[in-house]
Amino acid sequence: MVTIREATPDDAVAFAAIVRACWRLVFRGIIPDSVLDRPEDEDIAERAARIRGRMVDGWRSYAAEHAGRIVGVARLAMVPVHGYDAEIDGLHVDPAAHRQGIGRALVRHACDHFAAHHERTLYIHVLRGNTGARAFYEAIGGTIVVEDTWSYAGVPHPAIGYAWADVAQLAGRLRTAP
């Protein structure tokens, strides 16, 4: 069984390892190999420092745990983005745990959090080439509202922003979805 809990700075290294694994799987051929092939220890340490810093700065993060191990992460930002109240800044599930409902559980939990804090609308940004994430966001009702670019290692990449008009409604749909 998967449980969702608020993350602590002590989770930053586990979060960084999951983000790295996801990026190496999903973004190969999309963003420069120089970004993906950095030495593991250095890459995880830098990612963990950024994640820890955001937590200390008040960003909320949630961990999905299974069998005592973190298998998914969601980073939340309760600031307006492109006219939407709140953002899931990062949603990553360990590649070994894909297609087990963990992403849905994390999004549902994030929506419950946003609704409890009177945030009504949701925004999520993704690289256009991340077809798996795009299919997931579209399957849970996301509407494309922004097309722009992100830059990695000085190279621009097409990106897409998805939005939902009602986080409480989305949470309810995710609660009843198979």
Q: Which sequence spans correspond to the domains of the chain?
A: 2-176
SS3 37: coil
SS3 16: helix
CA–CA distance, 78 with 59 (Å, rounded to integer): 8
Q: Residue 153 in contact with residue 35, Cβ under 8 Å?
A: yes
**Dihedral over Cα of 161, 149, 29, 95: its sign:** negative
Residue 86: the pLDDT is 92
Pick from 13-17, 24-28, 102-106: least confident = 24-28
Pairing of strands 60-66, 122-127: unpaired
- Tokens 């069998």 locate to 67
Residue 53: the pLDDT is 67
**Percent of the chain's residues with pLDDT above 70:** 88
Q: Which DSSP state fits 28?
A: B
- Check: pTM over 0.75? Answer yes or no: yes
CA–CA distance, 108 with 114 (Å, rounded to integer): 10
Residue 38: the pLDDT is 66
Q: CA dist 81 to 3, 29, 36, Å?
A: 28, 28, 27
Q: Residue 92 in contact with residue 34, Cβ under 8 Å?
A: no
For the segment 10-15, the average pLDDT, to the nearest whole number, is: 80
CA–CA distance, 178 with 171 (Å, rounded to integer): 13
- 2-176 to CATH, choices 3.40.109.10, 3.20.20.80, 3.40.50.620, 3.40.630.30: 3.40.630.30
Residue 54: the pLDDT is 67
For the segment 79-107, the average pLDDT, to the nearest whole number, is: 89
